Structure 1
Amino acid sequence: MASQIPASFIPRNILVIKLRHHGDMLLTTPVINALRQRYPNAAIDVLLYQETRPMLQAHPAIRKLHLIDRNWKKQGVWHQAKQELKLVNAIRDSHYDVVINLADQWRSALITRLSGAPVRIGFAYNKRNNRFWHYCHNHLVSTQNFSQLHTVEQNLLALSPLDIATDGVPVSMYYADEEWLAAQRQLHEQGVNGPYIVIQPTSRWTFKCWEDEKVAALIDQLNQPGLHIVLTAAPDRKEMAMIAHILSLCQNPQVTTIAGQLSLTQLAALIDHARLFIGVDSAPMHMAAALQTPCVALFGPTKLQQWRPWGANNRVIWAGDYGSLPTPDSIDTKTEQRYLSAIPVEDVVAAARSYLDA
C-alpha cells in the first residue's frame, strides 16, 4: 500500500508519465486536472510517446511535453542511446519534486528513478512485484481493484498518496482555434454548411467494428432534411477502404466523407461542433466524451468497465446484450471477424434519435 505524503508538501514541479495509445493519453487528463486544482502554482509536465502528442498539446495546465519517439531504435543503437540520454538529462534538469508513473513499462520505472524526484509514485502491479520496481518508486499504490474500475478511476488512484480530491474530475480535450477553422474549410468543400453528425465506424482493429452494411443502413435511416452526416477515419489503407465501401452502399444524399483528411486536433474540433458522434471503441469516441458531444458508442468484446466513454452525455450499446461474446483477453487482435454483428440497426438508430430529437 502507498504511504501518505504530508499535507504540508507542496510540489513546484510535477511529471506525469504515460506511455500508451491516443485514447489512453486522453484518459490521463483527469489526473492533470486534479493536480492543477490542488497545486495551482505547480508546473505540470508529461512524458508520452511522440505520436500521441496531439491529445495533450493544447492542454492549458501542461507546461511541457517530454517526448519518446518510437522510431529512435530504427536509426541504430547509438542514435537511440543518445536520444534516451538527452531525455533523461532534460528530466533531471527539470528538478521534479514528484513523478507520477501511470505506466507499467520497465522504461518508465527507470526514468522515474533517474529523475531524482524525492517523491516517486507508481502502481504495485502484480507482474512488477520485484526489487527493481520497488527501487524505482518510493510510493506504490495497490492495483487490487483495477478490474472493477474505469481507466480514469485507475489513473486517479495514483494521486492517493498526495491525498488529492478526485471526485467529479473531468476528462478534457483542447484544440486551437485554427484547428476548427481548418475543419470548417474541409466541411465547406464538401458542401456541409449546417448541422451535422460525425460517424467514425473504423478502428485499427477490425474486431471492434460493425458491419459496413449496418453502418450504411444507419446512415440511410438517419436521413432528415438539413442534417448532414460526415464520415471520418484514420488515413489508413484498410480504414479508407471501409469508408469507401460504406459510401457505396448508402442512399442518403446528405452523407459525405473527410476521412483521412484531418489531424487529430482538427478531428476534435469537428466532433466538438457536431450535434452527435457515433462510433466504436476508439480514441475519437473518448474525444467525443471529453468534449461533451452527445455520443453513441458501440462496443464488442473489450473491457467495457474500463473503456466505456467517461461522462454522462453518452449511450453505450454493447454486443454482449444481444448474444454471447468471447472474453476480451482471448481475442486475436489480428482477426477480421467483427464481433459487433449482433447489434441491431434499429437500436442504434433509436439511440441516435433520442439525442437528435431532444
Structure 2
Amino acid sequence: MSIRHAVLPAQVKRILLIKLRHHGDMLLTTPVINTLRQRYPESEIDVLLYKETEAILRYHPAISVIHAIDRSWKKQGIRYQLKQELALLKQIRSRHFDLVINLADQWRSAAISLLSGAPVRIGFGYQKRRSFIWRKAHTSLVSTANHGKLHTVEQNLSILAPLNIEITDSRASMHYCADDEASRQRLLAERGVTGDYIVIQPTSRWTYKCWDDAKMAQLLDALQPQGLTLILTAGPDKKERDMIAHIQSLCHNPQVISLAGELTLTQLAALIDRARLFIGVDSAPMHMAAALHTPCVALFGPTKLHHWRPWSDNSTVIWAGDFAELPRPDAIDTRTRQRYLDAIPVETVLDAARDYLAEAK
C-alpha cells in the first residue's frame, strides 16, 4: 500500500506518534522520535501512550504534548470510560495533525489514527490485522515480514520508510530534570554515599526473568574488594521489595544499600546516569542504562534476546541459554515461579563487571 500524500518538512506542522505498551517499549520508541525531530525540526511532535508509562518520555525535549490513556478508566464504569475516551479524541482532533505514526497493534490505536483527521497515517501491516478496517485506518502500511530478525528499535524505525527518511542515528535516549538530580544527591548524602557506585536491579515484574537471590548475594559479596557502594533498586511492588530484603539478608558486604521502591523512574534515571556500572535483569531500568550509555551487564533468560537486548555498544549480555537449555520464549507461562536465569554462574557476571570497572579506571 503506497503513501498517497507527499510529506515535506514545510507541510508537517504536527506529528502524533502512538505506542501503547510497557515502560521499556516506550523507551525504545525514542530513536523514532529523535529521527523525526532531525527530519522535521520545526514540527511539533506529540505522543499517545498509557498513562503509567508517561514518565519515560516526560522530559524528552522533542515532545510537545503527551496524550495519555488511563487504563483505570474502565474500572469506573462504561459511561465514565466513554466520556474520557471522547474527551481524548476531541483533544487529539483539536491538534490538527498532519502525520500520524501508529507503532501500536491494537484496534484502539487504528481507530484513533483514523479519527484523528490526519491526512497521512502510517501503521504496520501486521498479519493479525489483515482487514479492510485496519487498511482504512492508515494511508500507508509498512511490512513486518522481517521483524522477526530485527531488534525492537529497528522494527520501530522501519515504520519511517514511506517518508524516505535517512536514519543517521538510531540511539535511544532517556531524559530527567534538575529536580531528579537534586533528589539523587540528597538520597545518597542521607545514606553517606560520597564516592562512586554501582546500580544493581535484581527484580522484574516477572519472576522468570530474575536470577537466584543467593547468587545475587554472592555477587554483592564478591564485588566488595572493588570498594564501591552497591545500590539495589526495584519497583514499589511489595514482591520486589521483599526480594531485595531477602538478598540483603544473604550478603555480608557492608557497602550494600537499598533504594528499592523509593525512586521515581526519572530519579532512577539520574541515579543510573551517574553510576560506574549497571547490573540487572531484562527490565525497563536495563533499557534506561543502555539509553544513558552507562556500562551495562544484562542478564537474560528465555526472552527474545535479539528483540530486547540492551540497545547500546557499552553493554554485555549474559544469556542463561549458554549454560542450560531454555524453553521457547512464546511457550513461557509468565506466572511461573521458576527462575531460568539460575543457570548463569556468579563468576561469569563477576568477570563482566570487573572488566567494565577496570576500563573505567
Report the TM range for the smaller structure's normalisation.
over 0.9
Q: CA deviation at 1:180?
A: 1.3
Gap regions ≥5 residues in structure 2? none
Code of the aligned partner of 2:6 = P
1:85 & 1:216 partners in 2: Cα distance?
Answer: 51
The 5 Å alignment of 1:45-64 reads: 45-64=46-65
> Matches of 1:294 and 1:225 in 2, distance apart?
16
Measured in 2, the distance between the counterparts of 1:235 and 1:292 equals 25
Partner Cα separation in structure 2 for residue 167 and residue 331 of structure 1: 37
Paired AA for residue 38 in structure 2: Q
> Secondary structure at 2:170's aligned position in 1?
coil
SS in structure 1 of the partner of residue 234 of structure 2: coil
Gaps of 5+ in 1: none
Which residue matches 1:118? 119
Aligned to 2:340: 339
Does the 8 Å CA contact 1:231/1:259 hold for their aligned counterparts?
Answer: yes
**Counterpart of 1:158 in 2: which secondary structure?**
helix
Distance 2:287 2:144 in 1: 23
Q: Hey, what does 2:322 align to over in structure 1? A: 321
- SS of the equivalent of 1:340 reads helix
Within 1, Cα distance between the matches of 2:149 and 2:3?
23
Alignment of 1:243-282 (within 5 A): 243-282=244-283
Q: What's the offset of the Cα at 1:169?
A: 2.1
User: Which residue is equivalent to 1:131?
Assistant: 132
- Report the counterpart of residue 92 of structure 2 in structure 1: 91
Query: How far apart in 2 are the matches of 1:166 and 1:349?
Result: 36
Paired residue secondary structure (1:341):
helix
Render the CA deviation track for 1:191-228: whole Å, top value 9, x for unaligned. Answer: 21110000000000000000000100111111125410
Query: What is the CA distance between 1:342 and its match in structure 2?
Result: 0.9
Output aligned runs, 1:223-262, within 5 Å: 223-224=224-225, 226-262=227-263
Task: Decide whether the 8 Å contact of 1:30 with 1:170 is kept in 2.
Answer: yes
AA of the residue aligned to 2:131: N
Give 1:144's aligned amino acid.
Answer: A
Kindly state the Cα deviation for residue 65 of structure 1 after the two structures are TM-superposed. 0.2
CA distance in structure 1 between the aligned counterparts of 2:271 and 2:86, rounded to whole angstroms: 39
Amino acid at match of 1:140: L
Equivalent in the alignment of 1:6: 6
Post-superposition Cα deviations, 1:233-279, rounded to whole Å, max 9, x if no partner, equal: 00111101100000001111100101000000000000000000000
- Residues 1:136 and 1:257: Cα distance change in structure 2 (over 3 Å): same
The within-5 A match list for 1:149-228 is 149-224=150-225, 226-228=227-229
Contact 1:295 1:314 (C-alpha < 8 Å) held by counterparts: yes
Equivalent residues in 2 for 1:10-25 (5 A)?
Answer: 10-25=11-26
CA contact (8 A) 1:197 1:230 kept: yes
1:2, distance to aligned residue in structure 2 (A): 4.5
Counterpart residue number, 1:71? 72
Structure 2: distance between partners of 1:324 and 1:225: 33
Q: Is the 8 A contact 1:208 1:338 kept in 2?
A: yes
- Secondary structure at 2:71 match in 1: coil
Per the alignment, residue 350 of structure 2 pairs with 349
Shift of the 5–310 alpha-carbon distance from structure 1 to 2, 3 Å rule, reads farther
Amino acid of the structure 1 residue aligned with 2:133: F
- Contact 1:2–1:142 (8 Å) recurs in 2: no
Sort the Cα spacing of 1:301 and 1:4 in 2 relative to 1 into closer, same or farther, 3 A: farther
> Which residues in structure 2 correspond to 1:135-146 (within 5 Å)?
135-146=136-147
Q: Give the Å deviation of 1:338.
A: 0.1
Q: CA–CA distance in 2 between the matches of 1:52 and 1:3?
A: 31
RMSD: 1.1
Deviations 1:65-117 (A, max 9, x none): 00100011111111111110010011111000000000000000000000000
**Is the CA contact (8 Å cut-off) linking 2:4 and 2:139 kept in structure 1?**
no
Name the residue aligned to 2:149. Answer: 148
8 Å contact kept, 1:171–1:290 = yes
Structure 1 length as normaliser, TM-score?
0.98
In structure 1, distance between residues paired with 2:148 and 2:226 = 45
CA distance in 1, matches of 2:347, 2:261: 28
Alignment partner of 2:239: what SS?
A: helix
